[in-house]
Amino acid sequence: MVQDNFLVGDIKGNARRIIELTQSAAGQGADLVVFPELALTGYPPEDLLYRPGFVAQVEQALESIKRAGSDTNIVLGLPAVHQGKLYNTAVWLSDGQCVAEYHKQTLPNYSVFDEVRYFSHGHDTRVVALGEFRFGVVICEDAWEPAPVADAKAAGADAIIVINASPFHGGKYAERVQMLEQRCTENGLPMFYVNMVGGQDELVFDGESLVVDGAGQVIRRSAAFEPAIELIDLTDDGPVAVTQGATQALQPEEAIYNALVLGVRDFVTKNGFSGVIVGLSGGVDSALTLALAVDALGTDNVQAVMMPSRYTAGMSREDAEAEARALGVRYDVISIEHAFEAFLDSLSTVFRGTEPDTTEENIQARCRGLILMAISNKTGRMLLTTGNKSEMAVGYATLYGDMCGGFAPIKDVYKTLVYRLCHYRNSLGQVIPERVLTRAPSAELREDQLDQDSLPAYEVLDRILELSVEQDLPIDEVVKAGFDRETVDHVLGLVQRNEYKRRQSAPGVRITRRAFGRDRRYPITSGYRRK
SS3 per-residue string spanning 258-290: HHHHHHHHHHHHHCCCCCEEEECCCCHHHHHHH
262 and 243 share one domain: no
**Residue 499 within any structural domain of the chain:** no
Q: Where are the alpha helices (DSSP H) in 380-513?
A: 389-394, 415-428, 434-438, 458-465, 475-480, 485-497, 499-503
- Per-residue pLDDT tens for 97-150? 999 999 999 999 988 999 999 999 999 999 999 988 999 999 999 999 999 999
Angle, vertex CA 460, rays to CA 455 and CA 462, nearest 5 = 85
Active-site residue, 501 included = no
396 and 274 housed in the same domain: yes
Q: Is the pLDDT of residue 517 over 90?
A: no
What pLDDT is stored for residue 247 in this prediction? 65
181 shares its domain with 319: no
Answer yes or no: 140 catalytic. Answer: yes
- What is the domain-level CATH number for residue 259? 3.40.50.620
Residue 506 lies in a domain: no
User: Crossing angle, helix 415-428 and helix 458-465, to 10 degrees?
Assistant: 110
Q: pLDDT tens digit string along 9-34?
A: 999 999 999 999 999 999 999 999 99
Let me know whether 338 and 444 are in one domain.
yes
Pairwise CA distance, residues 410 & 197, whole Å: 20
Instruction: Say what angle helices 146-154 and 172-187 make with each other, to 10 degrees.
Output: 30
> Residue 366 falls within a domain, yes or no?
yes
* Residue of 63, 98, 101, 104 marked catalytic: 104
Same domain, 32 and 135: yes
Quote the CA–CA distance of 249 and 164 in Å, as a whole number: 18
Residue 42 lies in a domain: yes
Position 511 in a domain: no
Domain span at 245:
2-250
What are the pLDDT digits (tens) for 347-406?
A: 999 999 999 999 999 999 999 999 999 999 999 999 999 999 999 999 999 999 999 999
Helix, strand, coil percentages, rounded to 5, for the chain:
40, 20, 40
Q: Where are the alpha helices (H) located in 42-139, listed in sequence order?
A: 54-67, 115-118
In sequence order, which residues have a C-beta less than 8 Å from that of residue 424 and are 6 or more positions away? 253, 254, 257
Per-residue model confidence as pLDDT tens digits over 270-306: 999 989 999 999 999 999 999 999 999 999 999 999 9
Residues 144 and 204 in one domain: yes
All residues at 6 or more sequence positions from 90 whose CB lies less than 8 Å from its CB, including other chains: 37, 75, 76, 77, 101, 102, 104, 126, 137, 139, 161, 163
Please indicate whether residue 37 is annotated as part of the active site. yes
Q: Is the peptide bond before 148 cis (omega within 30 degrees of 0)?
A: no
Overall domain count for the chain: 2
Identify the active-site residue in 12, 115, 140, 411: 140
Of 193, 228, 250, the last residue of a domain is: 250
Residue 448 and residue 316 share a domain: yes
Express each pLDDT in 429-475 by its tens digit.
999 999 999 987 777 666 766 667 778 899 999 999 999 999 999 99
Contact 511, 411 (CB under 8 A): no
CB 61 within 8 A of CB 111: no
Domain identity same for 246 and 297? no
Mean of the per-residue pLDDT values of the chain: 93
- Rounded average pLDDT over 189-205: 96
Q: Considering 452, 467, 491, which residue would you say is the last residue of a domain?
A: 452
pTM of full prediction above 0.75:
yes
Q: pLDDT of 33-44, one tens digit each? A: 999 999 999 999
**Domain containing 107 — which CATH number?**
3.60.110.10
212 and 313 share a domain?
no
- Whether 168 and 263 map to the same domain: the answer is no
Report yes or no on 172 lying in a domain.
yes
- The last residue of a domain, from among 452, 467, 483: 452
Q: Is residue 491 part of a domain?
A: no
Residue 65: inside a domain: yes
Q: What is the three-class DSSP state of 361?
A: helix
Query: Do 365 and 407 belong to one domain?
Result: yes
Residues 304 and 223 in one domain: no
